[in-house]
Amino acid sequence: MPTEMGRHQLLKSGLMKVELVPIERVIPYARNPRRNEHAVAKVAGSIKEFGFRQPIVVDKDMVIIVGHTRLLAAQQLGFKDVPIHIAEGLSEAKVKAYRIADNRTHEEAEWDEELLALELGDLKDLDFDLDLTGFDPDELDKLLSLDSADGLTDEDSIPEVEGKAVSQLGDVWVCGNHRLLCGDSTDPVAMQKLLAGSLADMVFTDPPYNVNYGATMKDKMRGNKRTIKNDNLGEDFYAFLLKACWNFLEVCKGAVYICMSSSELDTLQKAFRESGGHWSTF
């Protein structure tokens, strides 16, 4: 295992000096075992869109070690000059081995198709040309159609529950020192039933955001069919928040933390203050 000094030497010996040279000076390796004709157009598209970000690696005689496809792509694009890096200090044997290893080691990597699908989905949402990723149309269709539920899932997704619900409206579950009510937080009777005469030290609440969650075209495309009650009240949303704020402020002796959409933040602040709450950012 390399020592710290050894690692430093490895880095120092591999520091990359890049030069811009006339394209005709770069010589393809006659015995290049890698067939790359099918990849040239995709690499050319990548260079055109993103720039020539990886130089062609050549030996001291300007014969290519790594980068045959990039040279062909540059020729296709009509480049007069190309960036190169001369790999100095390598023996003939190491040059041959490097030429093979650079291609072979790339084959060891695999795609995490679930994460790849998420990245491609983001690019699609940004209206980016997915052909520039190098994937064929059939491959893109397959990846984009992956069901997110088979891998990473929406943090808000809730699986379907088999069987009938046990809890009924108005039930209070006592779990040691904890009490859990199946009820309506806008109902003062329900709130008193939950607390049984006590006051809450703190309230943390995440009410509906009035954004009609689950009903947008984007939600449907992502397979989200679950909607939230009282999440599409329109102008009645203020009255809904007013009742909820009034109830929890009546039974809370400490701080209140509320989650809300940016689009309805002003509505929440108005209802909270109208109920006697004091808004603070710290």
Helix, strand, coil in percent for the chain, rounding step 5: 45, 10, 45
Write down the H helix ranges in 56-207: 68-77, 92-106, 113-125, 137-144, 188-195
**Over the stretch 155-205, which tens digit does the pLDDT of each residue have?**
666 667 777 878 899 999 999 889 999 999 999 999 999 998 899 999 999
CB 211 within 8 A of CB 263: yes
pLDDT value for 10: 47
Confidence at 214, pLDDT banded by 50, 70, 90: low
For residue 243, give Cα distances in angstroms to 28, 94, 154, 187, 239: 77, 76, 30, 8, 6
Which residues pair with residue 85 across a beta bridge? 57
Distance CA 137, CA 205 (A): 45
The residue with tokens 């990849």 is: 39
SS3 for 164-209 is CCCCCCCCEEEECCEEEECCCCCCHHHHHHHHCCCCECCEEECCCC
Residue-wise burial string across 231-269, b where 16 or more C-beta atoms lie within 10 A, e elsewhere: bbbeeebbebbbebbbbbeebbeeebebebeeebeebbe
CATH topology of domain 4-106: 3.90.1530
Longest CA pairwise span in the chain (Å): 89
Other CB atoms within 10 A of residue 140 CB: 17
**Over the stretch 218-243, which tens digit does the pLDDT of each residue have?**
555 555 566 788 988 999 999 999 99
pLDDT value for 12: 54
The residue ranges of every structural domain in the chain are 4-106, 113-150, 183-274
> For the packed helices 137-144 and 113-125, what is the interaxial angle rounded to 10 degrees?
100
Confidence at 15, pLDDT banded by 50, 70, 90: low
Indicate the pTM of the whole model. 0.47
